Structure 1
Amino acid sequence: MNLWPPFRGAGIRVTRISADYREVDVTLKLGLLNRNYFGTHFGGSLYAMTDPFPALMMFRNLGSDYVVWDKAGVIRYVTPGRGTVHARMRLDPRAVERARAATANGDRHEPTFTVHVVDDEGGIVAIVEKTLHIRRLPEGRRASGASPARRKAA
């Protein structure tokens, strides 16, 4: 993931993904390419460092019988980010079970996950909330993990 252009260009580094995709750690050092006019972290980079992970973590834990999309995202800035910032994302196994139970009859489930972006001292720089859209696919269909555009091009 570190070679993915949006991460590479912003200087975002994925430092750890657990084998079960329930834990992801990401860092972002302040540099010339991710600094805003005021010399602190550009807010878009702070958001981007968390953006794909709640959906990816949930999809990898639910499996290909489910569709998992981002529905909404909100970032609240708490303190200007300076130096290196970190995001530790954790997926509680109970959230996976709640999603399975809520979608068992074909209903959609839209949980919200909160991620804190913190500085080296643990101070909160930003709070990101990601709302997911989760639905179990009908029998006989499986999610490919590829975007609709990629599926059409194939």
Structure 2
Amino acid sequence: MSRLKALAGSARALRHGMNAWPPFLFSGIRIQAMSADFRHVRVRLAHTPLTTNYVGTLFGGSLVAMVDPFWMLMVLRNLGQGYVVWDKAAEIEFVSPGRSAVSATFDLSEQVLDELRAEAADGAKVLRWFDNDVVTEDGTVVARVRKQLYVRRKR
């Protein structure tokens, strides 16, 4: 069992574990909030000399990394052990240069979970897109990110 999975018993433990995880820790990525029910996450990417590229803007790869695991984790935790949940695809559109710290917010509704359960009820695979923006403190959109999840009931 992976160390992160072992920590996933509570949202608080998972948040602290992921914040100490080297890929996040050394990339300036910090989970600011994770609700106890795994339905809300807010993550921040600092703008420092270590997180900027040659032209002084945030690394595109860091923008992708900051949003990568959350939709999958949130859906998996909420659907439970009776489901397989995988990342299937990702898309990112760089809208404006990241010249300051940015954040992204993830909110998972009961309606979306009900739809996933209904679509996967007969064992069929479900492909679902989730969207969110990466924004500066003043709300300027730096990137638009789409993640596609594969969801299926376990056999």
AA at the equivalent of 2:44? T
Q: Which residue of 1 aligns with 2:30?
A: 13
- Which structure 2 segments of 5+ residues have no match? 1-17
- 1: distance between equivalents of 2:60 and 2:44? 14
Identify unmatched segments of 5+ residues in structure 1: 139-154
CA RMSD, Structure 1 to Structure 2 (Å)? 0.7
Mapping of residues 3-152 of structure 1, within 5 Å: 3-138=20-155
SS state at 2:31 partner: strand
Distance 2:50 2:22 in 1: 13
Q: Deviations over 1:59-118 (max 9, x none)?
A: 000000001000000110000001110101111211111110011100011100001000
Pairs aligned (count): 138
SS at match of 2:41: strand
- The SS at the match of 1:95 is helix
Q: Distance in 2 between matches of 1:133 and 1:96?
A: 13
TM-score normalized by the length of structure 1: 0.88
Task: Quote the offset at 1:37 in angstroms.
Answer: 1.0
Q: C-alpha separation between the residues in 2 aligned to 1:65 and 1:114?
A: 25
State, as a whole percentage, how many aligned pairs show the same letter: 49
- Letter of the 1:46 partner, please give it: L
- Higher helix proportion: 2
**CA offsets, 1:44-63, max 9 Å, x none?**
00111100000000000000
Measure the CA separation in 2 of the matches of 1:36 and 1:75: 18
TM-score, normalized by length of structure 2? 0.87
